[in-house]
Each structure stands twice: as C-alpha cells, then as structure tokens.
Amino acid sequence: MNLILITACPSGMATTFLAAKRLEQAAMRLGWNVHVEMHGEIAPLQAASAEQIANADLIVVAADHVPAPERFEGKRLFQAPIASALPDPGAFLSQAKREAPIYSAPAATAAAPASSAGGKKIVAVTACPTGVAHTFMAAEALAEAGKAMGHQIRVETQGSVGAQNKLTEAEIADADVVVLACDIEVDPSRFAGKRVYRTSTGNALKKPRPTLEAAFTDAAVEDDTSAASSSATAKKGMKEKGVYKHLLTGVSFMLPMVVAGGLLIALSFVFGIEAFQEEGTLAAALMQIGGGTAFALMIPVLAGYIAYSIADRPGIAPGMIGGMLAAEIGSGFIGGILAGFLAGYVALAVTRYVKLPSSVESLKPILIIPLIASLVTGLTMIYVIGEPVAAVLSALTSFLESMGSTNAVLLGILLGAMMCFDLGGPVNKAAYTFGVGLLASETYGPMAAIMAAGMVPAIGMGIASFVARNKFSAPEREAGKASFVLGLCFISEGAIPFAAKDPLRVIPACIAGGAVTGALSMLVGAKLMAPHGGIFVLLIPNAITPALLYLGAIVVGSLITGLGYAFIKRGAAQVAVAS
C-alpha cells in the first residue's frame, strides 16, 4: 500500500517530529510504502509530489487541518488530531485504513480570495514581564501556527534586549489583524485604526492556532490617537487589563534597575565588604552608582510603570512621585506597589470623569491629571498608608533577618516549590516578585533561594534526558541539551516541553528538587545581589555568598529532579522513533 503521511502541530515542533517518526515506523512494520510530509521547523518540508499523490492508496493527516487540501480531491483521506496518533500509531493507521472516506476539499478553500496571495496578513507583538523565555517561545508558536494556516505573519518580540524583528509602518498598514500577546503594557499608538486582538503570552504559546482564529473574529479597531488627545488616552486607559498585568508591567521596568544596581554593589565588594565607606575610592563610586542611585530608582520606577499600565502616560509622574515617597517613608516595595495602583487609578478617574471646556481640554494630560493624581497619591502616602506599611515592611524584614534555621528552611521550601509549580506562570512570578521586592530592603536571602530553585527544572530535565537516554527520543534528547543550558541561565521555561507532554510526572519532580534547593539555600544563608543571570552571576566576586554552598544546593536539587524523573518516566516504547 502506498501511504502519504502528514503531521503538523503548531504548538510543538517536537510533537510534529515524534508523530511522524512513530507513524512512519508503524507503517513500515505493516509493509507499507510511505512518504512523510512534516510541517514543522525541525526538518525541511518535503511536500508530496503530484505523482506520489496520484499513486497513493491512502492519505493520513495527523493534524488539526489538511494542508493544501485541494491536492487530495477524490483520494481516500483520514484526518485526526496529532495527539490521537501518539499513544498507539499502529492502531491509528489501522483505523485510518478502515475508515478513510473519499475526500472532498472544502469549497471555501478553493474560492477564498484571501488565500490567493498567501492568506491573511498578520502582525503580532509578544512581551512577557522578564522578556526572556515566554516572549520568544510565544513568538515562535504564533509564527508556526500562522504559516501552517496559510497566512503571512510577522512577529515582533519586545524582550529584555528591546524590540527585535521590529514591525515596519508598511507592514502594520498592510496587516489584516494585529495580535498583541503581551503580559505587560506596550505602546499601542502605532496600531491606531487597525483591528487589534489582545491576549497573553501564555495563551499564544499554548494555543497559537485558536489565538489566531480568535483574532480574526474578535479583534476590535483601535481608535485613532495622538499625544495631545486626552479623550483617546481615556479610551486606551479604559481597557481592563487586570491587577496582575499592571503589577508585572511595573516589575518588568524595574528589573534592569535591580540587576544593574545589585551587580554594581557586588563589584564594590570586590575591594572589601567595607571598602565603599572610604570616600573617593572606586568601591565608593560603585556603591554610589548601584546602591545610592540604581536601588533608589527601583521603587519609583515600579510605582510609575504600574500607574502607566493603568492610565497610560498621565500615570507615570504621579506614580513615580508616590514611589519616591514610599521609598523615603520606608514603606519599600509594598508601599511602592500601593502608590502605583493608587496613582494609576486616580489618574484614570480624572481622565474619565473630569470634563473640561474644549478650550482647556488639551491641558488635562500635562497639567490637570498630574497635579490632582500627584496630590491625592502624595497626601495619602504621607498621612494614611505610608507609616503603617513601613511598619509592616520593617517587621517583615526583621523577621526574615532574625528567623531561625527551621523557619528559613520552611520559607525556602515554599519559595522553591512556587518557582517550580508552573514554570514561569502566575505562581512562579508571584514568588519572583516577592524576592525582587525584598532586594530594595537589602534582604538578599529569599532572592537567592528563588533563583536557585528556578534553575532546577530545566537543568533537571537535561540531566534526566542524559541519564535515561533510552527513555527519551532523539528530539527529546536534543531538547534536553537546550533545557540544561537554559536552566544554567535561570530560564525555568526550558522544562516546559517536557512538562507539557508528561505533567503528572515532570511537575512533581521539579517541585521536589526546587523545594530542596530553596531549603538548602536558606539553610546555608546564601545571599544574592542580582535577581537574574543564573550560574553566570557566580563569575562576579561576592555577587553570591557563599558561592560553593549555593552551587551545591543547585546541584543537589537538580539531581533530585533529574534522577527522580528519569526513574519514574515511562519506558522508551512511548516515544520510540526510527533510527
């Protein structure tokens, strides 16, 4: 029997490859002559020729759609989701042989005018709070899904190094729809007049095809905006984004301050822990830049960009003013968060509800909103919430600094488990934000435990794929190598491909290893000056102390995760591929 086998899975390159190889192997055991057409990035597309299609007895499509369906008009064709092909490929092919009907290509496909020029034109932007992993993984998933659906798509990533693959004005003008898959606020003004669909990076990563389908049906036209138009500002501000998104926007803009400040402080310690106290020295200058300036800006930037996420540009000034007051009063990152939300919502309320004559309406964004919002935020911080929050933060800091080893271990277990629970999701981000906030109060222990535990899942998956090679397919072993490197860089998302396929085993193994690492880090009293960088922060003297014990905590947790998952993972029969 002559078989043409087609696999496509926009949400996972490895799944496309695994399904193709397993089905090809099963077909060869049945004695069938098979041509494989994989729609993915791992291997180049080898489309079936017209002669192969004409001679084919059966077409099997393991995908959500039939690529170029008009090719198979009048042939016996069986289509099913790719997930149904993986558990038992032999049974899947037998079912296809029994049940495949004569295929008729959908009439809409042949007549769709939009596809005549390569489908719709889509432009997209992805951005996550830290701008590292989710940003680029979501971009890749959207690009693959768009290509598989026959559309032209360009994705701009707004990561930690700025905008990459930046969209041009011409591309935006020609686009049929704009997809903003962003967990933080991005400037939407350049998409004015276009149909825009907003979602999260998580949705784009996990459900890229439904995301694009929803964009075509649910996208709404952005109102035309200008820098001086307060009414346009109001309409943009009225978009409900949620408290979580506002907080992550502030954290995203604050992170560079924290990283730069922490590493500069660590560099000042190279000359001695107390060397910065001697005026005129390089150590004193480094401490002034890092501790006196960068760390001083942390809370104002956090508050300012929380307010920006809520009320757009009019929120920045009152938010930063409130954040500076929070820092001066001593209410720290908790006060900064409260000041940011207060300033943002006051600015938004003034934008929405204060009506002025048209002759002075243009003064609202530059005079009325900053004045009222700054006044309300400042007075509230000084007379209402500043001192109580400062007392709470002081008590929290004192507790963290004075807690015994038992409490430290329990906190490390909690933070470590949270970092590994959802691999970059809300629980992970909550723990990370907690640790970053404490850096402003010169409390460095929790951040050390958080980064160490966050490295464990990806490193552990790399270890498992090496130790139990016979239980992993060739693509999975390659993914394990990449995961190991990502783990060293403190990118927990490297374990996501493994967790997506086997969550009931991967997630518990990751949590166990992360919890142990967090506990050990707190037990040895590890302190971390910078909230990112992974293992490479160890190259900077005194950025992590004690360095060897901290590294040992990471190794122990990674081995628990890696060896544990290698032991409980099912055998190779589940993921066998042709050699």
C-alpha span between 81 and 60 (Å, rounded): 11
**What residues contact residue 300 under an 8 Å CB cut-off, 6+ apart?**
319, 320, 321, 323, 324, 327, 336
Question: Could you give the 3-state DSSP secondary structure of residue 376?
Answer: helix
Distances (CA, A) of 499 to 77, 310, 350, 423: 33, 34, 46, 9
Q: How many helices (H) and strands (E) does the chain have?
A: 23, 12
Cα gap 436→255, rounded to integer Å? 8
Residues 6+ apart with CB under 8 A from 299: 323, 324, 326, 327, 332, 333, 335, 336, 440
* φ, ψ at 33 (rounded to 5°): -90, 115
* 519 contacts: CB under 8 Å, gap ≥ 6: 409, 410, 412, 413, 416, 449
Q: Output the DSSP codes for 302-358.
A: HHHHHHHHHHSGGGHHHHHHHHHHHHHHT-HHHHHHHHHHHHHHHHHHHHHH----T
State both tokens at 214.
Answer: 């929803």
| 335's tokens | 């006060």
Site of tokens 């906190």: 411
Calpha distance 465→110 (Å, rounded): 45
Within its chain, how far is the Cα of 138 from the centroid? 8
Residue of 9, 182, 420, 510 marked active site: 9
Let me know if 9 is a catalytic residue. Answer: yes
Pairing of strands 58-62, 2-8: parallel
> For 409, left (φ over 0), alpha (ψ -120 to 50), or beta?
alpha
Closest alpha carbon to 309 in 355, 229, 373, 252: 252
- How many C-beta neighbours within 10 Å does residue 229 have? 17
Active site annotation includes 128: yes
The edge-to-edge listing of strands for the beta sheet with 220-221 is 162-164, 152-159, 121-127, 177-182, 195-199, 220-221
Distance separating alpha carbons of residues 173 and 123, to the nearest angstrom: 10
Collapsing DSSP to helix, strand or coil, 187 comes out as coil
Radius of gyration of the chain (CA): 27
* Whole-Å CA distances, 21 to 244, 574, 575: 42, 12, 9
Rounded to whole angstroms, the Cα distance separating 258 from 160 reads 13
The contacts of residue 528 (CB under 8 Å, 6+ apart) are 262, 444, 447, 448, 451, 537, 543, 544, 550
Q: Which residue in the list 128, 182, 420, 510 is annotated as catalytic?
A: 128
Q: Are 142 and 197 a contacting pair, CB within 8 Å?
A: no
Cite the active site residues. 9, 128
